[in-house]
């Protein structure tokens, strides 16, 4: 089929149908988990000042040097489509939350962008659910964050299907020392490295820990380990995180090569990886980022810990794992009507259906009966009521029970009684937003009070 | 306070706290309304090809000429941050839904962007909830869409507080004729127009209908009206829409000057405006856009009708109107613990609380008791359990009833019984995502069946 409609932007996707249902499910589970733990939602703008992102991710990072969607607005401001939300949340915190009781618990569900080579499961617009606790430092916060992330994974159906990798990066001074030693170690063995790894070693030595080269992986077993460079305070902090994880029943694997991609982490870092080894990428991860506030230009260090989970990776894993969502939005009653008279009889019935908790849907437009039945099937409709021209004259309908395939003729005035009687009362939908709010009428001063 | 942290992008806002709660409420009501009417959600990318938006909004439109966030990616593709979602949804429909049973019911909740002068309530990133029915033409679809939009407004608390304005733009040929007559009418009276309106008249005559000039408003009363140019077919279509609205109990005001900003509408157009006249901008609006598919380059006209509601405008109106949201995420039990021993005793209790339906939260970090109590208050905590160093040694806590201000000492092992006994059973939270899914284990071929 030839068509010159501009296509969707390369590497981005429309989310609909079954994929959207998984996405909604993930969002619902995450929202519930975060709320029940006292987090409130924040949505920072899709667009941030480029300077914020550069300072936060670090000038040498892949994000900044290769993967950023950056552009100028009409006034020449340097902007980016945010590659992640932590920098924006910290910015928003500094602008709005310093005078609130600390620490502040925030969560987000946001689209992020990277100008990356599109591959299966890696999109240029991708989505993350994440949370941050900002304003206090305590190892129990790190443990609690990890526990919450595990709960989200457990509750979407991945219990027992992921592994938690854990490490500590200590503080900046300890890391500096370690980086020097790591660099020396590999410089002395430079003849064993390929060009990519030599480049990594010179630009950002920590990235050698992500090498896929088998020789390097062997060397890493005997190379200096970050945990050997931690002083007492950092060691204590890390021990406490692990002790709290034990109390919370969270299992973890220590991985001394885990450093995460971004510059801003200190102390605890972690990643959730697929337990089956089916996918290479992590489901998500997090860490403590006490230095981020200073990196982006704030005068003080603000302790913080957070994590993010990748929606696309999780959805693919749910599908691969065989997690099937129950269809809760099934239509109880699907109307098929032919002609205007039938339509006019059906419209008020569809409103009455709503009031009686019955989810109904009208087949509007002019498709054939066959197409309409196909649609009713796709929507898992329990009943189909057919009102043709003859039926409309007589005020009756043909009611088809889609579960057992039977069909009967009955009066339109009896239709809803029949349907309601045959649907499990628990399935009827009486949600009304009016219970969620009250309207406080503005008081007029002139109104006399009861006692006057 | 001096700080050199890059600020948020001008004209954009962080959404959190009370504002976010209203936003969540609006999203929830809209999702429910759409789903119950058989709509499923679509999320099109934030970024679209510039060509798609230019073809859809029209080259002379304000959106395209002044208000678009446009930029090039690293490969030189001309992209835009989407100013609205209808063009993207139509593109996605053409790419994915042509072979589905028609019509297709889709809804969205999306951020949109316009490079506009920031004003109160008008942001450069703003949000809309909207819906589209694509693939069939029938006046009852237009009426149904209007009815659904009214239901969303009614259900968020604005029942009786908005007016629906309605018009028909007929089809392209009828509009052409009308535009010629309108232009002639005003050209003959050009001496009564100011420069802005003369410019409008020459560039896009229909825009004169939006003039704020009082003289022009007077002239419009005697100027040619679009409805006088509709032929029988268009008149019939419009009459049927109105007849269906009557059956659905939807009140409307006809407004012959209503044309909406975009080029792609035909037949029915409508807007919801504030009934109090408090705000100038519409809450939202919609219309039929049977020509959009051809405008963007598809070989055929695809009938479609849709609407969008502006989240920011609605939230401000809810606040102004006195609509107060009930706080449903109240914390039942807030733990305040001092010292590591207390923390270690509390962590398992917080997990047990969760299993018993109690929303609990831990005061982690090191703030003072006073700050913690303030936080418990803000979170509407029903109970606060304080475990100090002495209490931890004895395995007890001080339980404060925040409703009546009483305090008592009790054993930690009795704490949850006490709390559960005093909370309305309906308030306990037993939501478990596990009821939302089943895991279908992949079958292994080697597994013997029961009969083998």
pLDDT in tens, A218-244: 999 999 999 999 999 999 999 999 999
Is residue B345 within 8 angstroms of chain A, CB to CB?
Answer: no
* Phi, psi angles (nearest 5°) of residue B235: -60, -45
Q: pLDDT at position B106, please?
A: 97
Q: Which position has the higher pLDDT, A449 or A119?
A: A119
CA A61 – CA A63 distance, rounded (Å): 5
CA A200 – CA A377 distance, rounded (Å): 56
Is residue A106 within 8 angstroms of chain B, CB to CB?
Answer: yes
pLDDT band with cut points at 50, 70 and 90 for residue A363: confident
Q: Which residues of B touch A298 (CB under 8 A)?
A: 3, 5
Interface of B with A in 168-207 (CB under 8 A): none
Residue B214: partners with Cβ closer than 8 Å, 6 or more residues away: none
SS3 for A146?
Answer: helix
pLDDT band with cut points at 50, 70 and 90 for residue A48: very high
**Chain A residue nearest residue B44, CA to CA:** A14
Would strands B47-49 and B40-43 be described as parallel, antiparallel, or unpaired? unpaired
Is residue A292 within 8 angstroms of chain B, CB to CB?
Answer: no
Helix ranges restricted to H, A322-445: 340-355, 369-378, 389-394, 412-422
**pLDDT one digit per residue (tens) for chain B, 452 residues:** 345 899 999 999 999 999 999 999 999 999 999 988 889 999 999 999 999 999 998 877 778 878 899 999 988 999 999 999 999 999 999 999 999 888 899 999 999 999 988 887 789 999 999 999 999 999 999 999 999 999 999 999 999 999 999 999 999 999 999 999 999 999 999 888 888 888 888 888 888 888 888 888 899 999 999 999 999 999 999 999 999 999 999 999 999 989 886 678 999 999 999 988 776 779 999 999 999 999 999 999 999 999 999 999 999 999 998 999 877 667 899 999 888 899 999 999 998 998 899 998 887 766 688 888 888 888 889 999 999 999 999 999 999 999 999 999 999 999 999 999 998 888 888 877 777 788 786 555 444 444 43
For residue B426, CA distances in Å to A425, A426, B269, B421, B429 come to: 18, 16, 45, 12, 8
Name the residue with tokens 């798609």: B52
CA A72 – CA A83 distance, rounded (Å): 16
Q: Residue A266 pLDDT > 50, yes or no?
A: yes
Would strands A333-337 and A360-363 be described as parallel, antiparallel, or unpaired? parallel
Do residues B42 and B108 make contact, with C-beta atoms less than 8 angstroms apart? yes
Q: Which two tokens stand for residue A372?
A: 């309409």
Could you tell me the end-to-end alpha-carbon distance of chain B, in angstroms, rounded to an integer? 79
Lowest mean pLDDT among A46-55, A112-121, A239-248, B321-330: B321-330
Q: Which two tokens stand for residue A63?
A: 């994000």
Can you spell out the DSSP letters for A66-111? TS-EEEE-TT--EEEE-S-SHHHHHHHHHHHTTTSSSSEEEEEEEE
CB contact under 8 A, B367 and A328: no
Q: Which two tokens stand for residue B391?
A: 């209490």
Interface test with B, best of A2, A18, A38, A117 (most B CBs within 10 A): A38
Taking phi first (over 0 means left), then psi (-120 to 50 degrees means alpha), and beta for anything else, what does residue A6 get? beta
CA A392 – CA A388 distance, rounded (Å): 6
Do residues A130 and A307 make contact, with C-beta atoms less than 8 angstroms apart? yes
User: Which 8-state DSSP code applies to residue B451?
Assistant: T
A72 upstream amide cis, omega within 30 of 0? no
Q: In this complex, which of B20, B326, B351 lies closest to A41 when CB atoms are compared?
A: B20
Short-list A342, A346, A414, A334, CA closest to A375: A334
Interface of A with B in 379-398 (CB under 8 A): 379
**Chain B residue nearest residue A363, CA to CA:** B103
Shortest distance between the Cα of A133 and any Cα of chain B, in A, equals 10
Q: pLDDT at position A120, please?
A: 78
CB contact under 8 A, B364 and A141: yes
Sign of the C-alpha dihedral computed for residues A300, A305, A311 and A314 taken in this order: positive
The sheet with strand A47-49 has its strands ordered as A47-49, A78-81, A69-72
Q: In this complex, which of B45, B113, B429 lies closest to A125 when CB atoms are compared?
A: B45
CB contact under 8 A, B437 and A244: no
Short-list A112, A53, A63, CA closest to A84: A112
Question: What's the rounded mean pLDDT across residues A127-136?
Answer: 96
Q: What is the CB neighbour count within 10 angstroms for residue A301?
A: 15
pLDDT band with cut points at 50, 70 and 90 for residue A447: very low
Please name the helix (run of DSSP H) or strand (run of DSSP E) that holds residue A123, with its range, or none.
Answer: none
Shortest distance between the Cα of A440 and any Cα of chain B, in A, equals 5
Residue A388: partners with Cβ closer than 8 Å, 6 or more residues away: A337, A338, A339, A342, A398
Do residues B402 and B382 make contact, with C-beta atoms less than 8 angstroms apart? yes
Q: In this complex, which of A8, A45, A296 lies closest to B125 when CB atoms are compared?
A: A45
Q: Which position has the higher pLDDT, A438 or B445?
A: A438
Q: In this complex, which of A115, A144, A299 lies closest to B362 when CB atoms are compared?
A: A144
CA B7 – CA B14 distance, rounded (Å): 11
Q: pLDDT at position A20, please?
A: 96
Do residues B304 and B105 make contact, with C-beta atoms less than 8 angstroms apart? no
Can you spell out the DSSP letters for A240-264? HHHHHHHHTT---EE-TT---S-TT
CB contact under 8 A, A94 and B14: no
* Phi, psi angles (nearest 5°) of residue A71: -160, 165
Short-list A429, A422, A432, A431, CA closest to A402: A422
Helices B195-203 and B172-187, axial angle in degrees (round to 10): 150
* Domains contained in chain A, CATH given: 17-170+230-320 (3.30.930.10), 333-435 (3.40.50.800)
Short-list A357, A351, A377, A360, CA closest to A421: A357
Q: What is the CB neighbour count within 10 angstroms for residue A255?
A: 17
CB contact under 8 A, B367 and A136: yes
Q: What is the pLDDT of residues B176-188, one digit of tens each?
A: 999 999 999 999 9
CA A339 – CA A361 distance, rounded (Å): 17
Is residue A372 within 8 angstroms of chain B, CB to CB?
Answer: yes
Q: Which residues of B touch A293 (CB under 8 A)?
A: 5
CA A5 – CA B90 distance, rounded (Å): 10
Q: Which position has the higher pLDDT, A215 or B270?
A: B270
CB contact under 8 A, B4 and A297: yes
ipTM field: 0.92
In the Cβ-directed half-sphere of A29, how many Cα atoms lie within 13 Å?
A: 28
Q: What is the pLDDT of residues A64-83, one digit of tens each?
A: 878 899 999 988 999 999 99
**Chain B residue nearest residue A359, CA to CA:** B36
Short-list B168, B169, B145, B150, CA closest to B304: B145
Q: Which position has the higher pLDDT, A4 or B132?
A: B132
Shortest distance between the Cα of B183 and any Cα of chain A, in A, equals 32
CB contact under 8 A, B95 and A8: yes
Q: Which two tokens stand for residue A81?
A: 């489509």
**Looking only at Cα atoms, what is the longest distance across chain A?**
96
Interface test with B, best of A1, A2, A3, A5 (most B CBs within 10 A): A5
Q: pLDDT at position B59, please?
A: 75
Short-list A13, A24, A18, CA closest to B100: A18
Short-list B402, B343, B340, B412, CA closest to B375: B402
SS3 for A115?
Answer: coil
Interface test with A, best of B20, B26, B35, B45 (most A CBs within 10 A): B45
B212 CA to centre of own chain = 28
Name the residue with tokens 């001309």: B78
């Amino acid at each position: 089929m030839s068509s010159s409609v501009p296509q969707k932007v390369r590497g981005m996707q429309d989310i609909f149908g079954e994929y959207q249902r998984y996405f909604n499910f993930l969002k619902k589970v995450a929202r519930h988990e975060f709320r029940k733990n006292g987090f409130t939602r924040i949505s920072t703008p899709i667009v941030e000042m480029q300077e914020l992102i550069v300072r936060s991710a670090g000038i040498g990072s892949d994000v900044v040097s290769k993967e950023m969607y950056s552009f100028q607005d009409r006034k020449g401001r340097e902007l980016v489509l945010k590659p992640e939300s932590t920098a924006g949340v910290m910015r928003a915190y500094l602008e709005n939350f310093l005078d609130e009781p600390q620490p502040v618990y925030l969560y987000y569900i946001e689209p992020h962008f990277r100008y990356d080579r599109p591959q299966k499961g890696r999109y240029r617009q991708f989505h993350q659910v994440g949370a941050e606790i900002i304003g206090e430092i305590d190892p129990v916060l790190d443990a609690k964050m990890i526990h919450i992330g595990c709960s989200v994974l457990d509750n979407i159906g991945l219990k027992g299907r992921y592994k938690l990798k854990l490490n500590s990066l200590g503080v900046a001074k300890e890391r500096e020392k370690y980086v020097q030693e790591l660099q020396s170690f590999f410089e002395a063995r430079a003849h064993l490295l390929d060009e990519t790894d030599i480049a990594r070693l010179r630009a950002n030595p920590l990235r050698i820990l992500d090498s896929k080269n088998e020789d390097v992986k062997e060397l890493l077993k005997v190379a200096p380990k970050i945990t050997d460079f931690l002083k007492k305070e950092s060691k204590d902090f890390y021990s406490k995180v692990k002790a709290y994880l034990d109390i919370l029943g969270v299992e973890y694997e220590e991985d001394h090569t885990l450093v995460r991609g971004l510059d801003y982490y200190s102390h605890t870092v972690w990643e959730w990886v697929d337990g089956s080894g089916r996918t290479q990428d992590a489901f998500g991860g997090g860490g403590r980022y006490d230095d981020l506030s200073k990196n982006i230009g704030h005068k003080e260090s603000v302790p913080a810990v957070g994590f993010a989970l990748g929606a696309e990776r999780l959805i693919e894993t749910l599908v691969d794992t065989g997690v099937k969502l129950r269809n809760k939005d099934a239509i109880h009653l699907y109307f098929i009507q032919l002609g205007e008279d039938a339509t006019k009889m059906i419209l008020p019935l569809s409103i009455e259906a709503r009031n009686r908790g019955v989810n109904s849907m009208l087949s509007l437009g002019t498709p054939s009966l066959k197409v309409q039945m196909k649609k009713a099937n796709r929507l898992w409709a329990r009943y189909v009521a057919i009102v043709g021209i003859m039926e409309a004259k007589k005020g009756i309908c043909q009611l088809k029970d889609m579960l057992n395939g039977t069909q009967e003729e009955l009066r339109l005035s009896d239709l809803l009684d029949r349907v309601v009687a045959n649907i499990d009362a628990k399935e009827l939908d009486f949600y009304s937003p009016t219970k969620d709010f009250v309207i406080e009428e503005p008081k007029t001063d002139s109104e006399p009070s009861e006692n006057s």
